[in-house]
Chain A
Amino acid sequence: MSNTILKKENIDTIETQKKTEPVLMVSHLYKSFGDNKVLIDFNLKLNKGENVVVLGKSGSGKSVLIKCIIGLLLPDEGEIHVLGENVVEQTSSSLDKIRAKIGFLFQSNALYDSMTVRENLEFPLRRHWIKNNPDEVNQLVQQALEDVGLGYTIDMMPVELSGGMRKRIALARTLILKPEIILYDEPTTGLDPITGKEIIRLMIHIKEKYNTSSLIISHDMNCVKLAADRIIILLEGKCYAEGDYETLRKDKDAKVIQFFE
């Protein structure tokens, strides 16, 4: 009897541990370009199923941070653990394996201009050696396009699409690998407020459907209000303040308040 109770407790603690174990952890990150010190001892934790928004002014190093996480930039110092593995000290092939589990939505969408929507979506599947069977590939492509509500664009070229549609297609390309973590680089910048809101709703929908964790970089208050479970303010290269929307909005510090005005 006592044995079973103990077992159940054990399972509970393991489960809570699993829940709180961060899928992404950035610790003591430093990055500078020449004399331009962009990140100075930056720390961040992203838990499973959480939406964290990193808020910062333009040029504060938000993109640099996210590019360090995915291994496009090499930090000067610090550690970045993604799903338990340190990104900083990987060989290129093991880095590819980690990258396959992370979705990255680029600020400029980064759709391949010379390829159709279908080829754009197939690219990560084929290149990561994940799927080669044409039927399966086709099905995944259709599924991803339906997730973003743009099934009919499958044979179009990116130039034929509007800004909001491109963003959705880029999101579909990110989703196709069924990532555990999605990194969004300013997902609403450059879009009109209504389209921006649609994208945010889509992001929330996707998070619920696939139970992903997301790190969202933004300075759009709409996005912050709707999507953020937790907010981190990136200022002067550091994690300057942290908390949920209501707490930070009532903060006394002028440097924090400026984001909420």
Chain B
Amino acid sequence: MPVSTSTKNLLNEVGGISSFAGRFFSQWYKPRYEIAEFFRQCYVIGYKSLPLVGLTGFIMGLVLTMQLRPTMVDYGVESQIPAIVGIAIIREIGPVLTALIFAGKIGSSIGAELGSMKVTEQIDAMEVSGTNPFKYLVVSRVLAATCMLPVLTVMSDAISLYGSYLGVNIRGTTSFSLFWIQVFESLDFYDVIPAFIKTYFFGFAVGLIGCYKGYFSSKGTEGVGRSANSAVVVSSILIFIIDLLAVQITDVLGYN
């Protein structure tokens, strides 16, 4: 029956990812620490996605502002645009959009890189050269992705809000300082912190899934392509699932 096989596949996938995550948690804190590789990955991962994250963030801020404006004008609350946009970007759009771009850019490149290393036996070669490939390749990348996505999100948020400031000034004028005062007045601690914390989970998900897909890539160049592709698909879905869980948790805790 097709239903039962696809259910089985899904369960297999969930099981595989869970045990991969378990392996990560049981190994990441143990020596030998691959510190040089971790920093190299931080640089590669952060630097590579910065232009894309900045560009999409800027456009999102600008477009959101321009599209909100007519409605806000109708209701006579034009002056509230910075506050509304600020909340939307900081709490939801910034983290999720950045994470999705990150999944597309970094998840796929990790999946393809490890996938091709797998099929050309480079991972085996590392293992016989006195290296634990799981630590050297997987732990360093997962940690780097976990650490870099929050940084990228903060930058993206800032660029996004700047885009929004320009959007406000296309029609009507607000001074730069007034715009930022309005943004920050609308935000409180409980808007910023949960949104910031969830980006760590997004980064972890992208790194872990990229590594998982690459590490267990099937033979052949086709397998590498499939790894890269499904790394993006699965980590994007996971980002939304984590987002859903995060909002439930903050809701239960009364932080909304």
Contact = CB atoms under 8 A, between A and B. Distances in A.
Contacts of A71: 128
CB-based closest 7 A-B pairs: A110-B125, A110-B121, A128-B130, A124-B129, A127-B130, A106-B121, A96-B130
Contacts of A112: 117, 122, 125
Nearest to A100: B130
Contacts, number: 50
Contacts of A102: 128
A127 B121 contact: no
Q: Chain B contact residues: over half helix, strand or loop, or mixed?
A: helix
A110 B120 contact: yes
A69 B116 CA distance: 24
Interface of B: 113, 116-117, 119-122, 124-132
A140 to B, nearest CB: 14
A58 interface: no
Interface residues on A, range: 20 to 34
A70 B121 CA distance: 14
Task: Report which residue of A72, A109, A110, A113 has the largest number of chain B beta carbons within 10 angstroms of its beta carbon.
Answer: A110
A123 B127 CA distance: 11
Contact of B130 (A106, A111, A129): A129
Interface of A: 67, 70-72, 92, 96, 99-100, 102, 104, 106-114, 123-124, 127-129
A99 B120 contact: no
Contact of B131 (A67, A70, A110, A127): A127
Given A106-B125, A112-B125, A124 B120 contact: no
A110 B119 CA distance: 9
Given A113-B116, A113-B122, A124 B130 contact: yes
A127 B129 contact: yes
A123 B120 contact: no
Task: Report which residue of B121, B126, B127, B132 has the largest number of chain A beta carbons within 10 angstroms of its beta carbon.
Answer: B121
B130 A107 contact: no
A67 B124 contact: yes
A99 B131 CA distance: 11
Task: Report which residue of B124, B126, B129, B132 has the largest number of chain A beta carbons within 10 angstroms of its beta carbon.
Answer: B129
